[in-house]
Amino acid sequence: MTRSETLVIVNPVAGQGSARRIQPAIAGYLTARDRRADFVASSSTESFRQLAFQAVTQGYRYVVALGGDGAFHHLVEATLGAEVILGFFPAGSGNDIAEGLGLPKDPLAAAELFLRLQPRPIDVVRAHFGSGDAIFIGAGGLGLDAEAAELANTRFRRWPGFTRYLAGALWAWRKFSAIDLYAEIDGQRLQRRVLFAAAANAPCYGSGIRIAPDAKMDDGWLEITLVQDMPLLKLLEAIPIVLRSGDIRWPEVERFRCRRASFLTDRVALVHGDGEPLGQAPVEFEILPGAVQVMAPARAGV
């Protein structure tokens, strides 16, 4: 049998095994519509990256991640700059990138849509560290949210959806103190004492937290959100708002739209992107317009 032009890389543990369980249905659906795909399962993060890189060298035209946001993150990471079209069948616990791309959060529904779409250029964020560069496609940042993301992927990884990140944030809060942040945002310098600073290409992270409700993944802009120090009770008051609309108009919350932003902190601060650990501050975030081609619906009005 000849090789297909589509490779689907499966993270079998995504969504507590839902990616593995849905794989036969997706394979059958694609085959029944004369769009047979090859499937391969990853065994680790490094394995996923290697499989994605090999897919490019083997000449696949389409490479698809079947898994969570982390799987799509690693797919973009491994194929950035290659002549390949990416796809995403979301099967994770959060699927924030899928929402940003306008994809259904059901992987079989996303596979159905995959057959009818045209590739669309999507922006990517590059994070510059002293030790090298990293990328992400959804949202990231530093401070309390980065510590919450790390705990969500470790101590609380078995908790469902948003509760992983809420538990992580509350756990981290016990020993957390605000960070003195020195930022330069498209040449504008400022200093703030923050709980966290987010850089977003997509509206959501942390399983539905609308950190940058106006963010669009194809407009060439980076959305920066600075959340200044505030009492825990007020932070908890914000939770239903960020889960519903993200429209918080408090003096402690500042938003900026830019192409580039650099952050320097007064102490060690973890930096994450798409929930994955990337490094430590100082860091510079830069938007890379139209850096990848993704099978995703065109944005309304575009």
Q: Which domains does the chain have, with CATH numbers?
A: 6-117 (3.40.50.10330), 126-291 (2.60.200.40)
pLDDT at 59: 94
Phi then psi dihedrals of residue 30, to 5 deg: -65, -40
pLDDT at 232: 83
Cα 116 versus chain centre, distance: 24
CB 101 within 8 A of CB 122: yes
Helix axes 144-152, 161-173, angle to 10 degrees: 120
Report the DSSP beta bridge partners of residue 125: 136, 287
Unique residue bearing structure tokens 């850096």: 291
pLDDT at 300: 47
pLDDT at 294: 97
CB within 8 A of 287, min separation 6: which ones? Answer: 123, 124, 125, 126, 201, 220, 221, 222, 259, 260
pLDDT at 131: 85
CA atoms of 72 and 273, how far apart (whole Å): 12
CA atoms of 103 and 221, how far apart (whole Å): 21
CB 156 within 8 A of CB 114: no
Report, as ranges of residue numbers, the positions in the chain whose pLDDT lies below 70. Answer: 1-2, 300-302
Q: Are strands 222-228 and 253-258 parallel, antiparallel or unpaired?
A: antiparallel
pLDDT at 2: 59
46-55 pLDDT, tens per residue?
999 999 999 9
Q: Is the pTM of this model over 0.85?
A: yes
